[in-house]
Amino acid sequence: MKMKKVAIVGASGYSGEVLVQLLLNHPHAELVAVTSRQYAGQTLAQVFPKFASHPKSKALRFSGPDAEALARQADVVFLALPHGVAAEYAVPLLGAGCGVIDLSADFRLRSADLYREFYAHDHPAPALLEKAVYGLPEHYRAEIKKSLLIASPGCYPTSILLPVIPLLKAGLIQPAGIIADSLSGVSGAGRKAELDYLFCECNESVRPYGVPKHRHLSEIEEQLSFAAGTKVTIQFTPHLIPVNRGILTTLYLAPAEPFRDAAGAAGLAEKISACYQSAYASEPFVRLLEGKSLPDTKNVVGTNVCEIAWRLDPRTGRLIVMSAEDNLIKGASGQAVQSLNLLCGFPETAGLI
């Protein structure tokens, strides 16, 4: 299989670091450039000592971000930048025929109005919003294969969308009243020198934040609305917990029908099980837990897998669904590589197992 040349813009954050790791070890991709304003001129080994022993890392040196130069070097460019600046690179790269996989939120919304509501300014390249594909392979596989601009979903959205979309599409839950309670490791905040994320401020601490209106609600709700065929508004509470990596989301859902049918058979449970089996049984990166197992971030950290388990509560009539993922892999860089594989016609699991 022909190797593709790939580059990363903004490779010095936590997502960028994991992306470097995945691409250094990818069987069909050659990492030809990494950029960082802050570290331009330094080698990969200097910035990330952990990669120093990798044979492919010797020649790689951080450069300043230059879209033209990148377009000459790479077939596909990953943008691992803070929100708000991806358009600046995406426009010229796409113009030069490169594939672009953006890890920021900049192209994740279809609606420019929604973007303005949540981000408080106009989108810098609204025309691209229509072209971009939401890079959730389990639900947009065909579109990803055909697009050159992939808006790779973030960590919270992935942990919520994977468990909820199939249920909404199947009409098994009510679109109203969805609650998502999420617990995220500290790497989700990025590599930022702020007091709030110091070791002593996070260790032995658990805290909610951004209550009640978090920016990522916009993409979650837009995607759920597509799945439900009606406008969906959800309750979302993120919490910061003292682990490096991992997101655990607990979802509180209202079934659209009674637990038991008229004859007393456990119809709903069977339908939910069949729904998830149908959606994910053959997906390499979704693991449906069986028996008494519940998700645990330690079983997914370091992998591109999202674990899902569910319980019907006969006391309350609710469906509880729980998911776990590595926020930097399935919630960021692994998912982006999964899109790369689709985009380039590689096996979808290449470099990810």
Closest CA to 108 of 150, 55, 58: 150
Rounded Cα distance between 145 and 218, Å, is: 25
In three-state secondary structure terms, 191 is coil
- Retrieve residue 38's tokens: 């802050």
Do residues 35 and 11 lie in contact, with contact meaning Cβ atoms separated by under 8 Å? yes
| Residues 208 to 227 in contact with a second copy, rule: CB under 8 A | 208-209, 211-213
Q: How many CB atoms lie within 10 A of CB 118?
A: 17
**Residue 300 interacts with a second copy (CB under 8 A): yes or no:** yes
Stretch of 53-61, 95-103, 121-129, 259-267 contacting a second copy, by CB under 8 A:
53-61
**Number of chain positions touching a second copy (CB under 8 A):** 77
For 350: left if phi > 0, alpha if psi spans -120 to 50, otherwise beta; the answer is beta
Q: Least CB distance from residue 224 to a second copy, whole Å? A: 13
Residue placing its CB nearer to a second copy in the complex, 278 or 316: 316
Cα 281 from Cα 250, distance rounded (Å):
21
Q: Quick check: 198 binds a second copy (CB under 8 A)?
A: yes
Smallest distance, Å, CB 178 to a second copy? 9
- How far apart are CB 246 and a second copy at their closest, in Å? 6
Ranges within 124-153 binding a second copy (CB under 8 A):
none
Nearer to a second copy, 67 or 305 (CB): 305
Is 155 one of the catalytic residues? yes
Nearer to a second copy, 93 or 220 (CB): 220
Q: How far is the CB of 49 from a second copy (least distance, A)?
A: 5
CB 328 within 8 A of CB 14: yes
For the window 32-51, what string marks contact with a second copy as x by the rule CB under 8 A?
A: -----------------xx-
* Binding of residue 256 to a second copy (CB under 8 A): no
The correct pick among 195, 263, 264, 282 for binding a second copy (CB under 8 A) is 195
CA-to-CA distance for 13 and 148, rounded, in angstroms? Answer: 24
For a second copy, the closer CB: 75 or 326: 326
User: In the chain, what is the straight-line distance between the N-terminal and C-terminal CA atoms, in Å?
Assistant: 18
Q: Which two tokens stand for residue 47?
A: 């910035």
The CA-CA-CA angle for residues 211, 225, 212, to 5°, reads 5
| Shortest spacing between CB 135 and a second copy, in angstroms | 20
Q: Which of residues 162-181 bind a second copy (CB under 8 A)?
A: 177, 179, 181
The reply to whether 322 sits near a second copy by the rule CB under 8 A is yes
Residue 73: which H helix or E strand, with range? helix 67-73
Nearer to a second copy, 34 or 352 (CB): 352
Find the part of the chain contacting a second copy (CB under 8 A) among 157-165, 202-210, 223-231, 257-265.
Answer: 202-210
The answer to whether 252 touches 216, Cβ cutoff 8 Å, is: no
Verify binding: residue 281, a second copy, rule CB under 8 A. no
* 6 contacts 30 by C-beta, under 8 angstroms: yes
Choosing from 155, 202, 306, 344, which is the catalytic residue? 155
Could you say which residues in the range 229-248 bind a second copy, by CB under 8 A? Answer: 233-235, 237, 239, 241-246, 248
Residue 351 contacts residue 23 (beta carbons within 8 Å): yes
Interaction residues for a second copy, span 74-113 (CB under 8 A): none
Taking contact as CB under 8 A, which single stretch among the options 130-138, 148-156, 283-291, 337-345 is the one that binds a second copy? 283-291
Shortest separation between residue 200's beta carbon and a second copy, angstroms = 5
Dist. CA 325–CA 305, nearest whole Å: 6
C-alpha dihedral, 314 to 176 to 163 to 218, nearest 10° = -150
Cβ of residue 351: shortest distance to a second copy, in angstroms?
12
**Rounded-to-integer distance, Cα 332 and Cα 242, Å:** 19
Residue numbers annotated as active site:
155
